[in-house]
Amino acid sequence: MKPWEKNIRTVVPYVPGEQPQGRGLIKLNTNENPYPPAPGVLRALREMDGRLLRKYPDPAASALVEGLAEFYGLCSSQVFVGVGSDDVLAMAFMTFFNSGKPILFPDITYSFYPVWADLFQIPYKTPALDGEFRIRPADYYQENGGVVFPNPNAPTGIFLPLKQVEDILDHNQDVVVIVDEAYIDFGGVSARTLLDRYENLLVVGTFSKSRSMAGMRIGYAFGSPALIKAMENVKYSYNSYTMNLPSVLSGVEALKDKEYFYETVGKIVNTRERAKSRFKELGFKCPDSSANFLFITHEERKAEEILQALREKNIYVRHFNAPRISEYLRVTIGTDDEMEAVYDFLASWLVTLSR
Protein backbone atom coordinates (compact mmCIF):
# COMPACT_ATOMS: atom_id res chain seq x y z
CA MET A 1 0.00 0.00 0.00
CA LYS A 2 1.28 3.44 -0.95
CA PRO A 3 1.46 5.99 1.90
CA TRP A 4 -1.33 8.17 0.49
CA GLU A 5 -3.64 5.16 0.14
CA LYS A 6 -3.75 4.70 3.91
CA ASN A 7 -5.89 7.84 4.24
CA ILE A 8 -8.52 6.91 1.66
CA ARG A 9 -11.89 6.21 3.20
CA THR A 10 -13.14 2.82 2.08
CA VAL A 11 -16.79 1.81 2.20
CA VAL A 12 -18.96 -0.90 0.70
CA PRO A 13 -21.13 1.14 -1.69
CA TYR A 14 -24.86 0.98 -2.19
CA VAL A 15 -25.80 -1.08 -5.25
CA PRO A 16 -28.54 0.68 -7.22
CA GLY A 17 -31.10 -1.25 -9.22
CA GLU A 18 -30.11 -2.30 -12.71
CA GLN A 19 -31.14 0.08 -15.50
CA PRO A 20 -31.52 -2.15 -18.58
CA GLN A 21 -31.84 -0.44 -21.94
CA GLY A 22 -33.66 -1.40 -25.12
CA ARG A 23 -37.12 -2.03 -26.43
CA GLY A 24 -39.56 -4.74 -25.53
CA LEU A 25 -38.48 -5.10 -21.91
CA ILE A 26 -40.67 -4.96 -18.80
CA LYS A 27 -38.81 -3.09 -16.09
CA LEU A 28 -40.16 -3.87 -12.62
CA ASN A 29 -36.97 -3.74 -10.58
CA THR A 30 -36.57 -0.18 -9.28
CA ASN A 31 -40.05 0.86 -8.07
CA GLU A 32 -40.52 3.51 -10.72
CA ASN A 33 -43.98 4.69 -11.67
CA PRO A 34 -45.19 3.14 -14.96
CA TYR A 35 -47.25 6.22 -15.85
CA PRO A 36 -45.95 9.60 -17.11
CA PRO A 37 -45.78 12.62 -14.81
CA ALA A 38 -48.59 15.17 -14.73
CA PRO A 39 -49.09 16.94 -18.09
CA GLY A 40 -48.09 20.27 -16.55
CA VAL A 41 -44.62 18.92 -15.82
CA LEU A 42 -43.77 18.37 -19.48
CA ARG A 43 -45.42 21.67 -20.43
CA ALA A 44 -43.27 23.55 -17.89
CA LEU A 45 -40.11 21.99 -19.28
CA ARG A 46 -41.06 22.85 -22.88
CA GLU A 47 -41.88 26.45 -21.98
CA MET A 48 -38.89 27.04 -19.70
CA ASP A 49 -36.80 30.08 -20.63
CA GLY A 50 -33.46 28.50 -21.53
CA ARG A 51 -31.66 31.77 -20.82
CA LEU A 52 -32.26 31.20 -17.11
CA LEU A 53 -29.96 28.18 -17.18
CA ARG A 54 -26.89 30.42 -17.34
CA LYS A 55 -27.68 31.62 -13.81
CA TYR A 56 -27.46 29.75 -10.55
CA PRO A 57 -30.84 28.48 -9.31
CA ASP A 58 -32.50 29.75 -6.16
CA PRO A 59 -30.48 28.00 -3.41
CA ALA A 60 -33.58 27.77 -1.21
CA ALA A 61 -35.76 26.37 -4.05
CA SER A 62 -38.40 28.65 -2.56
CA ALA A 63 -41.10 27.99 -5.16
CA LEU A 64 -40.92 24.24 -4.54
CA VAL A 65 -40.76 24.65 -0.75
CA GLU A 66 -43.84 26.88 -0.82
CA GLY A 67 -45.65 24.48 -3.16
CA LEU A 68 -45.00 21.56 -0.82
CA ALA A 69 -46.05 23.58 2.21
CA GLU A 70 -49.33 24.54 0.54
CA PHE A 71 -50.09 21.02 -0.72
CA TYR A 72 -49.51 19.40 2.67
CA GLY A 73 -50.86 22.20 4.88
CA LEU A 74 -47.56 23.13 6.53
CA CYS A 75 -45.46 26.25 6.99
CA SER A 76 -42.53 26.83 4.64
CA SER A 77 -40.23 26.74 7.68
CA GLN A 78 -41.20 23.07 8.12
CA VAL A 79 -40.05 22.01 4.63
CA PHE A 80 -36.61 21.02 3.32
CA VAL A 81 -35.88 19.94 -0.26
CA GLY A 82 -33.00 18.04 -1.81
CA VAL A 83 -31.83 16.11 -4.85
CA GLY A 84 -33.98 13.05 -4.32
CA SER A 85 -34.84 11.57 -0.94
CA ASP A 86 -31.42 9.89 -0.85
CA ASP A 87 -29.79 13.32 -0.74
CA VAL A 88 -32.25 14.45 1.94
CA LEU A 89 -31.64 11.34 4.05
CA ALA A 90 -27.86 11.61 3.71
CA MET A 91 -28.08 15.24 4.83
CA ALA A 92 -30.22 14.17 7.79
CA PHE A 93 -27.69 11.49 8.78
CA MET A 94 -24.90 14.10 8.75
CA THR A 95 -26.99 16.63 10.63
CA PHE A 96 -28.61 14.59 13.39
CA PHE A 97 -26.64 11.40 14.06
CA ASN A 98 -23.54 12.70 15.83
CA SER A 99 -23.84 11.52 19.45
CA GLY A 100 -21.42 8.61 19.13
CA LYS A 101 -24.21 6.25 20.23
CA PRO A 102 -25.48 3.67 17.71
CA ILE A 103 -28.46 4.62 15.63
CA LEU A 104 -31.21 2.04 15.11
CA PHE A 105 -32.85 0.76 11.94
CA PRO A 106 -34.36 -2.63 11.02
CA ASP A 107 -32.24 -5.56 9.85
CA ILE A 108 -34.36 -5.81 6.69
CA THR A 109 -34.81 -2.31 5.32
CA TYR A 110 -33.54 0.21 2.78
CA SER A 111 -30.00 -0.92 2.06
CA PHE A 112 -28.63 2.63 1.82
CA TYR A 113 -28.90 3.13 5.61
CA PRO A 114 -25.82 1.05 6.56
CA VAL A 115 -23.88 2.60 3.67
CA TRP A 116 -24.47 6.13 4.98
CA ALA A 117 -23.72 5.01 8.52
CA ASP A 118 -20.37 3.60 7.39
CA LEU A 119 -19.58 6.59 5.18
CA PHE A 120 -20.25 9.10 7.97
CA GLN A 121 -18.71 6.82 10.62
CA ILE A 122 -21.94 6.46 12.59
CA PRO A 123 -22.27 3.32 14.75
CA TYR A 124 -25.52 1.42 14.28
CA LYS A 125 -27.60 -1.53 15.43
CA THR A 126 -30.23 -3.39 13.43
CA PRO A 127 -33.12 -4.78 15.50
CA ALA A 128 -34.58 -7.79 13.71
CA LEU A 129 -38.03 -7.70 12.17
CA ASP A 130 -40.33 -10.36 13.58
CA GLY A 131 -41.19 -13.58 11.74
CA GLU A 132 -43.77 -11.76 9.62
CA PHE A 133 -41.28 -9.02 8.68
CA ARG A 134 -42.86 -6.45 11.00
CA ILE A 135 -41.10 -3.81 13.11
CA ARG A 136 -41.40 -4.39 16.86
CA PRO A 137 -41.57 -0.97 18.56
CA ALA A 138 -40.23 -2.39 21.84
CA ASP A 139 -36.91 -3.08 20.07
CA TYR A 140 -36.49 0.70 19.82
CA TYR A 141 -36.83 1.42 23.52
CA GLN A 142 -33.08 0.96 24.05
CA GLU A 143 -30.59 3.82 24.33
CA ASN A 144 -29.52 5.07 20.90
CA GLY A 145 -28.25 8.00 18.89
CA GLY A 146 -31.26 8.19 16.58
CA VAL A 147 -33.84 6.08 14.78
CA VAL A 148 -34.64 5.73 11.07
CA PHE A 149 -37.02 3.39 9.27
CA PRO A 150 -39.11 3.39 6.08
CA ASN A 151 -42.88 3.28 6.37
CA PRO A 152 -44.06 1.35 4.42
CA ASN A 153 -40.88 -0.63 4.86
CA ALA A 154 -38.65 -1.57 1.96
CA PRO A 155 -38.30 -4.13 0.52
CA THR A 156 -41.21 -5.79 2.36
CA GLY A 157 -43.89 -3.16 1.68
CA ILE A 158 -45.37 -3.55 5.17
CA PHE A 159 -46.92 -0.46 6.76
CA LEU A 160 -46.38 0.22 10.46
CA PRO A 161 -49.62 1.65 11.93
CA LEU A 162 -49.38 5.22 13.14
CA LYS A 163 -50.02 4.16 16.74
CA GLN A 164 -46.84 2.09 16.69
CA VAL A 165 -44.89 4.94 15.09
CA GLU A 166 -46.04 7.07 18.02
CA ASP A 167 -44.89 4.36 20.41
CA ILE A 168 -41.38 4.59 18.97
CA LEU A 169 -41.49 8.38 19.19
CA ASP A 170 -42.72 8.33 22.79
CA HIS A 171 -39.73 6.18 23.79
CA ASN A 172 -37.18 8.29 21.87
CA GLN A 173 -37.77 11.88 22.92
CA ASP A 174 -34.06 12.66 23.25
CA VAL A 175 -33.03 11.80 19.67
CA VAL A 176 -34.23 12.55 16.14
CA VAL A 177 -36.57 9.93 14.67
CA ILE A 178 -36.69 9.80 10.86
CA VAL A 179 -39.67 8.18 9.14
CA ASP A 180 -38.80 7.54 5.49
CA GLU A 181 -42.09 7.72 3.58
CA ALA A 182 -41.03 7.09 -0.02
CA TYR A 183 -44.09 4.85 -0.52
CA ILE A 184 -46.68 6.39 1.79
CA ASP A 185 -48.94 7.61 -1.02
CA PHE A 186 -49.76 4.00 -1.93
CA GLY A 187 -51.13 3.09 1.49
CA GLY A 188 -51.23 4.16 5.14
CA VAL A 189 -51.45 7.39 7.08
CA SER A 190 -48.45 9.72 6.96
CA ALA A 191 -46.51 10.50 10.12
CA ARG A 192 -46.59 14.17 9.12
CA THR A 193 -49.88 14.28 11.07
CA LEU A 194 -47.71 13.92 14.20
CA LEU A 195 -45.40 16.87 13.51
CA ASP A 196 -47.22 19.26 15.83
CA ARG A 197 -46.73 16.83 18.73
CA TYR A 198 -43.13 15.69 18.18
CA GLU A 199 -40.51 18.33 17.48
CA ASN A 200 -37.87 15.59 17.05
CA LEU A 201 -39.74 13.92 14.14
CA LEU A 202 -38.46 14.20 10.56
CA VAL A 203 -40.64 12.81 7.75
CA VAL A 204 -38.93 12.25 4.39
CA GLY A 205 -40.63 11.91 1.00
CA THR A 206 -39.90 11.81 -2.72
CA PHE A 207 -41.32 12.65 -6.15
CA SER A 208 -39.71 9.52 -7.60
CA LYS A 209 -42.53 7.06 -6.89
CA SER A 210 -46.07 8.41 -6.76
CA ARG A 211 -45.32 11.50 -8.88
CA SER A 212 -43.50 9.65 -11.70
CA MET A 213 -40.42 11.88 -11.52
CA ALA A 214 -37.49 9.64 -10.57
CA GLY A 215 -35.46 11.24 -13.35
CA MET A 216 -35.83 14.74 -11.89
CA ARG A 217 -34.41 13.83 -8.46
CA ILE A 218 -36.72 15.68 -6.06
CA GLY A 219 -36.85 14.78 -2.39
CA TYR A 220 -38.14 16.60 0.66
CA ALA A 221 -38.43 16.47 4.42
CA PHE A 222 -40.98 17.80 6.89
CA GLY A 223 -40.09 18.64 10.46
CA SER A 224 -40.04 21.31 13.11
CA PRO A 225 -38.47 24.64 12.09
CA ALA A 226 -35.50 23.82 14.33
CA LEU A 227 -34.80 20.54 12.50
CA ILE A 228 -35.24 22.12 9.06
CA LYS A 229 -32.94 25.02 9.95
CA ALA A 230 -30.25 22.61 11.16
CA MET A 231 -30.43 20.70 7.87
CA GLU A 232 -30.26 23.91 5.85
CA ASN A 233 -27.14 24.96 7.73
CA VAL A 234 -25.46 21.68 6.83
CA LYS A 235 -26.67 21.92 3.22
CA TYR A 236 -25.30 25.43 2.77
CA SER A 237 -21.99 24.30 4.27
CA TYR A 238 -21.81 21.43 1.78
CA ASN A 239 -23.42 22.55 -1.52
CA SER A 240 -25.69 25.56 -1.60
CA TYR A 241 -27.04 25.02 -5.14
CA THR A 242 -28.37 21.50 -4.93
CA MET A 243 -31.74 21.79 -6.71
CA ASN A 244 -31.59 22.62 -10.41
CA LEU A 245 -34.09 24.96 -12.06
CA PRO A 246 -35.87 22.35 -14.26
CA SER A 247 -36.52 20.21 -11.19
CA VAL A 248 -37.96 23.14 -9.25
CA LEU A 249 -40.26 24.20 -12.11
CA SER A 250 -41.47 20.68 -12.84
CA GLY A 251 -41.92 19.88 -9.15
CA VAL A 252 -44.14 22.93 -8.67
CA GLU A 253 -46.30 21.90 -11.63
CA ALA A 254 -46.63 18.34 -10.36
CA LEU A 255 -48.02 19.62 -7.06
CA LYS A 256 -50.69 21.68 -8.84
CA ASP A 257 -52.38 18.73 -10.53
CA LYS A 258 -54.02 16.93 -7.61
CA GLU A 259 -56.57 15.13 -9.77
CA TYR A 260 -53.90 13.48 -11.92
CA PHE A 261 -51.85 12.58 -8.85
CA TYR A 262 -54.68 10.77 -7.10
CA GLU A 263 -55.84 9.11 -10.31
CA THR A 264 -52.39 7.67 -11.03
CA VAL A 265 -51.86 6.48 -7.47
CA GLY A 266 -55.29 4.85 -7.56
CA LYS A 267 -54.40 2.94 -10.73
CA ILE A 268 -51.28 1.51 -9.12
CA VAL A 269 -53.08 0.57 -5.90
CA ASN A 270 -55.81 -1.23 -7.87
CA THR A 271 -53.24 -3.11 -9.95
CA ARG A 272 -51.32 -4.02 -6.79
CA GLU A 273 -54.39 -5.49 -5.11
CA ARG A 274 -55.15 -7.60 -8.18
CA ALA A 275 -51.50 -8.68 -8.30
CA LYS A 276 -51.71 -10.06 -4.78
CA SER A 277 -54.44 -12.45 -5.87
CA ARG A 278 -52.82 -13.35 -9.18
CA PHE A 279 -49.46 -14.18 -7.63
CA LYS A 280 -51.19 -16.26 -4.96
CA GLU A 281 -52.91 -18.29 -7.69
CA LEU A 282 -49.45 -18.99 -9.13
CA GLY A 283 -48.14 -20.36 -5.82
CA PHE A 284 -46.47 -17.22 -4.49
CA LYS A 285 -46.73 -15.75 -1.00
CA CYS A 286 -46.05 -12.17 -0.03
CA PRO A 287 -46.52 -9.79 2.90
CA ASP A 288 -49.50 -7.48 2.64
CA SER A 289 -47.82 -4.61 0.80
CA SER A 290 -48.92 -0.98 1.13
CA ALA A 291 -46.28 0.19 -1.38
CA ASN A 292 -46.01 0.15 -5.18
CA PHE A 293 -44.33 -3.25 -5.16
CA LEU A 294 -44.82 -6.79 -3.87
CA PHE A 295 -42.24 -8.91 -2.05
CA ILE A 296 -42.91 -12.43 -3.30
CA THR A 297 -41.58 -15.92 -2.65
CA HIS A 298 -42.64 -19.17 -4.30
CA GLU A 299 -43.61 -22.32 -2.46
CA GLU A 300 -41.51 -24.58 -4.71
CA ARG A 301 -39.19 -22.61 -6.99
CA LYS A 302 -35.99 -20.83 -5.96
CA ALA A 303 -35.85 -17.04 -6.26
CA GLU A 304 -32.68 -17.12 -8.39
CA GLU A 305 -34.30 -19.61 -10.75
CA ILE A 306 -37.36 -17.38 -11.19
CA LEU A 307 -35.19 -14.29 -11.59
CA GLN A 308 -33.19 -15.82 -14.42
CA ALA A 309 -36.26 -17.18 -16.17
CA LEU A 310 -37.85 -13.73 -16.11
CA ARG A 311 -34.67 -12.06 -17.38
CA GLU A 312 -34.57 -14.40 -20.37
CA LYS A 313 -37.95 -12.93 -21.30
CA ASN A 314 -36.72 -9.35 -20.74
CA ILE A 315 -38.69 -9.04 -17.51
CA TYR A 316 -36.63 -7.40 -14.76
CA VAL A 317 -37.39 -7.68 -11.03
CA ARG A 318 -35.14 -7.17 -7.99
CA HIS A 319 -33.44 -9.87 -5.93
CA PHE A 320 -31.66 -9.19 -2.62
CA ASN A 321 -29.17 -11.94 -1.82
CA ALA A 322 -29.22 -11.23 1.90
CA PRO A 323 -29.99 -13.20 5.08
CA ARG A 324 -33.67 -14.03 5.65
CA ILE A 325 -34.82 -12.66 2.28
CA SER A 326 -32.71 -14.52 -0.29
CA GLU A 327 -35.77 -16.46 -1.51
CA TYR A 328 -37.81 -13.32 -2.15
CA LEU A 329 -38.16 -11.15 -5.23
CA ARG A 330 -39.35 -7.55 -5.20
CA VAL A 331 -41.70 -6.84 -8.07
CA THR A 332 -42.61 -3.24 -8.88
CA ILE A 333 -46.24 -2.73 -9.88
CA GLY A 334 -46.36 -1.91 -13.59
CA THR A 335 -49.28 -1.23 -15.89
CA ASP A 336 -52.05 -3.81 -16.10
CA ASP A 337 -50.67 -4.98 -19.46
CA GLU A 338 -47.17 -5.39 -18.06
CA MET A 339 -48.42 -7.33 -15.07
CA GLU A 340 -50.55 -9.59 -17.26
CA ALA A 341 -47.46 -10.40 -19.31
CA VAL A 342 -45.66 -11.40 -16.09
CA TYR A 343 -48.52 -13.63 -14.92
CA ASP A 344 -48.86 -15.27 -18.33
CA PHE A 345 -45.16 -16.07 -18.54
CA LEU A 346 -44.95 -17.41 -15.00
CA ALA A 347 -48.03 -19.56 -15.45
CA SER A 348 -46.60 -21.11 -18.62
CA TRP A 349 -43.12 -21.53 -17.14
CA LEU A 350 -44.36 -23.15 -13.93
CA VAL A 351 -46.55 -25.60 -15.85
CA THR A 352 -43.60 -26.58 -18.03
CA LEU A 353 -41.44 -27.27 -14.97
CA SER A 354 -44.11 -29.42 -13.35
CA ARG A 355 -44.33 -31.84 -16.27
Among 5-9, 187-191, 320-324, the range scoring the smallest mean pLDDT is 5-9
Give the pLDDT band (50/70/90) at residue 335: very high
To the nearest whole percent, how much of the chain has pLDDT over 70? 100
- pLDDT of 192 over the 90 cut: yes
- pLDDT of 275 over the 70 cut: yes
Task: Quick: pLDDT tens for 97-136.
Answer: 999 999 999 999 999 999 999 999 999 999 999 999 999 9
Task: Quick: pLDDT tens for 157-169.
Answer: 999 999 999 999 9
Task: Quick: pLDDT tens for 241-267.
Answer: 889 999 999 999 999 999 999 999 999
SS3 265: helix
**CB contact at 8 A, 169 and 146:** no
Give the pLDDT band (50/70/90) at residue 137: very high
Q: Give residue 353's pLDDT.
A: 81
Q: Give residue 340's pLDDT.
A: 98
Q: Give residue 355's pLDDT.
A: 64
Alpha carbon of residue 296 to chain centroid: 18
Give the pLDDT band (50/70/90) at residue 84: very high
- pLDDT of 354 over the 80 cut: no
170: which DSSP letter? H
- pLDDT of 300 over the 70 cut: yes
d(CA 351, CA 345): 10
Average pLDDT of the residues in 313-332: 96
Q: Give residue 324's pLDDT.
A: 96
- pLDDT of 25 over the 70 cut: yes
**CB contact at 8 A, 303 and 327:** yes
Those residues whose C-beta lies under 8 Å from the C-beta of residue 68, and which sit 6 or more positions away, are 74, 79, 81, 220, 255
pTM over the 0.75 mark: yes
> Among candidates 137, 147, 203, 181, which has minimal Cα distance to 290?
181
Q: Give residue 338's pLDDT.
A: 98
d(CA 208, CA 189): 19
Q: Give residue 22's pLDDT.
A: 83
**CB contact at 8 A, 216 and 64:** no
Q: Give residue 103's pLDDT.
A: 98
For the chain, report the end-to-end CA distance as a whole number of angstroms. Answer: 57
